[in-house]
């Protein structure tokens, strides 16, 4: 595998697993708890964040040399707001039912800490192509987290997946409630940490 391809792959894996925005960095927890009641909601918001993250990262990487350090955060916000407006209007036109269910959370993407953080930490210091893959990784990590939460909560709370009845009954209605989001995030965070610990132990054992 060429070095560049390997590096791009590592950026994607880093965002999805090692620095997952929800399960590892604990960022953008409000939508993770409030919207992840179904897989469809998680998918729609995850796609929206992926779109905004990728295009915002690419935009900042292209204009970083023209941004004065004192106004970099307002500039990030303006760029994010522009792409949020694009995806907001697109979803309203193409998926009005799902858009209505997500309500204000699409507009709140402007304030998502994960997007601003990646622009500051990565995009403003790297060229277009690495910034693109970093955006794919971090946005994909958020999408993965939302789908995982939606899977657990919709299956256990409603016995359904993507609105289709798969169990024929509701195992635990509690998981459909907003407060269940905190418990699901906590358990999945613990699972991610456990997997990392086991992986590091096995890696050390192999290297000995």
- What does the pLDDT read at residue 92? 86
Quick one: pLDDT at residue 59? 97
Over pLDDT 90: what percentage of the chain? 39
Stretch 38-43: mean pLDDT: 88
Is the pLDDT reported for residue 1 higher than 50? Answer: no
Residue spans per domain, the chain: 3-207
pLDDT of residue 3: 40
Contact indicator for 157, 37 with CB cutoff of 8 Å: yes
Q: Tell me the pLDDT tens digit for each residue of 2-25.
A: 446 558 888 898 888 888 999 888
Tell me the pLDDT tens digit for each residue of 147-177. 999 999 999 988 889 888 888 878 888 888 8
CA angle 79, 81, 85 (to 5 degrees): 120
Question: What is the sign, positive or negative, of the torsion defined by CA atoms of 25, 99, 37, 146?
Answer: negative
Choose between 138 and 113: higher pLDDT. Answer: 138
- On the 0-12 / 13-18 / 19+ scale of CB atoms within 10 A, 2 is exposed
Cα separation, 82 vs 110, whole angstroms: 9
The two three-digit tokens of residue 77, written as one number: 């916000």
Mean pLDDT to the nearest integer, 28-33: 80
pLDDT digits 0-9 by tens, 67-116: 998 999 999 999 999 999 999 998 888 888 877 877 678 888 888 888 99
Asked if pLDDT for residue 38 goes beyond 70, the answer is yes
């Amino acid at each position: 595998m060429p070095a560049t391809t390997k590096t791009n792959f590592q950026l994607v894996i880093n965002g999805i697993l090692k620095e997952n925005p929800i399960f590892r960095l604990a960022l953008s927890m409000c939508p993770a708890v409030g919207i992840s009641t179904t897989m469809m909601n998680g998918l729609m918001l995850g796609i929206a964040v992926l779109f905004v993250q990728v295009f915002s990262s690419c935009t900042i990487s292209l204009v970083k040399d023209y941004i004065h350090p004192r106004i970099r955060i307002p500039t990030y916000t303006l760029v994010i707001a522009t792409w949020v407006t694009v995806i907001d209007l697109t979803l309203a036109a193409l998926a009005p039912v799902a858009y209505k269910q997500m309500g204000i959370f699409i507009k709140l993407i402007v304030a998502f800490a994960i997007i601003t953080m990646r622009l500051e930490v990565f995009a403003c210091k790297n060229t277009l192509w690495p910034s693109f893959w970093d955006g794919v990784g971090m946005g994909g990590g958020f999408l993965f987290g939302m789908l995982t939460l939606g899977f657990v909560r919709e299956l256990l709370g409603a016995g359904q997946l993507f609105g289709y009845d798969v169990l024929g009954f509701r195992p635990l209605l509690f998981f459909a409630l907003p407060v269940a989001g905190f418990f699901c995030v906590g358990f999945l965070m613990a699972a991610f940490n456990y997997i990392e610990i086991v992986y590091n132990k096995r890696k050390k054992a192999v290297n000995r």
